[in-house]
Structure 1
Amino acid sequence: MTLTTEATETTVATKKRTGVLPTTGAPLERPSAAAHLSDEQVQQLGAELDAIRDEIIAKRGASDAAYIRRTIKVARGLDVGGRIALVFSKTKLGWAAGTGAIALSKVLENMEIGHNVLHGQWDWMRDPDIHSTTWEWDFVAPARGWQHTHNDIHHTWTNVLGKDRDVGYNILRVSEDQPWQPRDVWNPVVNAFLAPFFEWGIASYDLEWDMVTAGLKSKEDFKSDLTALKKKAIRQVAKDYVATPAAGILVGNSFKRGLAGTVTANMIRNVWAHAVIFCGHFPDGVDVFTEEMIDGETRGDWYIRQMLGSANLSGSKLFHILTGNLSHQIEHHCFPDLPSNRYIEVAPKLRAVCRKYDLPYTTGPLPKQLFQTWKKICQLALPDENKWETVKAVYSPNKAKRRRAKAALKAGQPIPTA
Structure 2
Amino acid sequence: MAISDIKEYTHLTAEDVEALRTDLDAIRRDVTDSLGERDATYIRRTIAFQRALDAAARLMIFGSRAKAGWVAGTTALAVAKSIENMEIGHNVSHGQWDWMNDPEIHSSTWEWDMAGLSSQWQYSHNYRHHVFSNVVGMDDDLGFGVIRITRDQPWKPDNLLQPLRNLLLAATFEWGIALHGLYAEQSRAGTAAEKSADTRALIGKIARQSGKDYLIFPALSGRRWRRTLKANLAANLLRNLWAYVVIFCGHFPDGAEKFTPAELENETRAEWYLRQMLGTANFRAGTVLAFMSGNLCYQIEHHLFPDLPSNRYAEIATKVRALCEKYDLPYTTGSLARQYFLTLRTIHKLALPDRFLSATSDDAPETASERKFRALSTMPAGAGLRTALRAAVETAEPDRFRESPRG
Equivalent residue for 2:403?
Answer: none
| Kept after mapping to 2: 8 A contact 1:314/1:365 | yes
1:33 deviates by 3.7
Equivalent residue for 2:5?
Answer: 29
Equivalent residue for 2:272?
Answer: 302
Equivalent residue for 1:178?
Answer: 153
Equivalent residue for 1:247?
Answer: 220
Equivalent residue for 1:379?
Answer: 349
Equivalent residue for 2:381?
Answer: none
- Could you tell me which of 264, 268, 287 is aligned with 2:234? 264
- Could you tell me which of 158, 165, 174 is aligned with 2:133? 158
Q: 1:76 to 1:88 in 2, by over 3 A?
A: same
- Could you tell me which of 91, 114, 118 is aligned with 1:139? 114
Equivalent residue for 2:329?
Answer: 359
Q: Output aligned runs, 1:73-92, within 5 Å.
A: 73-92=48-67
Equivalent residue for 2:164?
Answer: 189
> How many angstroms apart in 1 are the aligned matches of 2:207 and 2:296?
29
| Kept after mapping to 2: 8 A contact 1:31/1:293 | no
- Could you tell me which of 271, 284, 300 is aligned with 2:254? 284
Q: 1:32 to 1:139 in 2, by over 3 A?
A: farther
- Could you tell me which of 32, 43, 54 is aligned with 1:68? 43
Q: 1:211 to 1:287 in 2, by over 3 A?
A: farther
Q: 1:161 to 1:211 in 2, by over 3 A?
A: farther
> How many angstroms apart in 2 are the aligned matches of 1:32 and 1:318?
39
| Kept after mapping to 2: 8 A contact 1:31/1:289 | no
1:196 deviates by 1.3
Equivalent residue for 1:103?
Answer: 78
> How many angstroms apart in 2 are the aligned matches of 1:324 and 1:270?
14
In the alignment, residue 333 of structure 2 is paired with which amino acid? Answer: T
Deviation track 1:117-171 (CA, whole Å, cap 9, x = no partner) reads 0000000001000000010010111010000000011000000112111111111
Give the secondary structure class of the aligned counterpart of 1:133. Answer: coil
1:31 deviates by 5.8
| Kept after mapping to 1: 8 A contact 2:98/2:105 | yes
> How many angstroms apart in 2 are the aligned matches of 1:32 and 1:378?
30
Query: Equivalent pairs: percent with the same residue?
Result: 49
1:88 deviates by 2.1
Alignment of 1:46 onto 2:21 = yes
Deviation track 1:349-393 (CA, whole Å, cap 9, x = no partner) reads 001111111111100111101111011000000011157xxxxxx
The TM-score with structure 1 as length reference comes to 0.83
Equivalent residue for 1:411?
Answer: none
| Kept after mapping to 2: 8 A contact 1:208/1:222 | no
Give the secondary structure class of the aligned counterpart of 1:136. Answer: coil
> How many angstroms apart in 2 are the aligned matches of 1:114 and 1:210?
19
Equivalent residue for 2:361?
Answer: none
| Kept after mapping to 2: 8 A contact 1:313/1:328 | yes
> How many angstroms apart in 2 are the aligned matches of 1:256 and 1:31?
59
1:222 deviates by 2.2
Give the secondary structure class of the aligned counterpart of 1:168. Answer: coil
Give the secondary structure class of the aligned counterpart of 1:297. Answer: coil
In the alignment, residue 214 of structure 2 is paired with which amino acid? Answer: Y
Aligned length: 357
> How many angstroms apart in 2 are the aligned matches of 1:211 and 1:170?
15
> How many angstroms apart in 2 are the aligned matches of 1:298 and 1:209?
25
Q: 1:303 to 1:2 in 2, by over 3 A?
A: closer
| Kept after mapping to 1: 8 A contact 2:124/2:185 | no
> How many angstroms apart in 1 are the aligned matches of 2:242 and 2:270?
33
1:93 deviates by 1.4
| Kept after mapping to 1: 8 A contact 2:189/2:195 | no
| Kept after mapping to 2: 8 A contact 1:276/1:326 | yes
> How many angstroms apart in 2 are the aligned matches of 1:269 and 1:386?
35
| Kept after mapping to 2: 8 A contact 1:140/1:200 | yes
Alignment of 1:341 onto 2:306 = no
Which structure 1 segments of 5+ residues have no match? Answer: 4-27, 388-418
After superposing the two structures, state which structure 1 stretch, 142-151 or 78-87, moved more.
78-87
Which structure 2 segments of 5+ residues have no match? Answer: 358-407
> How many angstroms apart in 1 are the aligned matches of 2:185 and 2:52?
40
Equivalent residue for 1:149?
Answer: 124
Deviation track 1:9-36 (CA, whole Å, cap 9, x = no partner) reads xxxxxxxxxxxxxxxxxxx7226541x1
| Kept after mapping to 2: 8 A contact 1:161/1:291 | yes
Alignment of 1:205 onto 2:175 = no
Q: 1:119 to 1:100 in 2, by over 3 A?
A: same
Equivalent residue for 1:16?
Answer: none
Equivalent residue for 1:93?
Answer: 68
In the alignment, residue 241 of structure 1 is paired with which amino acid? Answer: Y
Equivalent residue for 2:211?
Answer: 238
The TM-score with structure 2 as length reference comes to 0.85
1:221 deviates by 2.7
| Kept after mapping to 1: 8 A contact 2:120/2:184 | no
- Could you tell me which of 202, 207, 212 is aligned with 1:229? 202
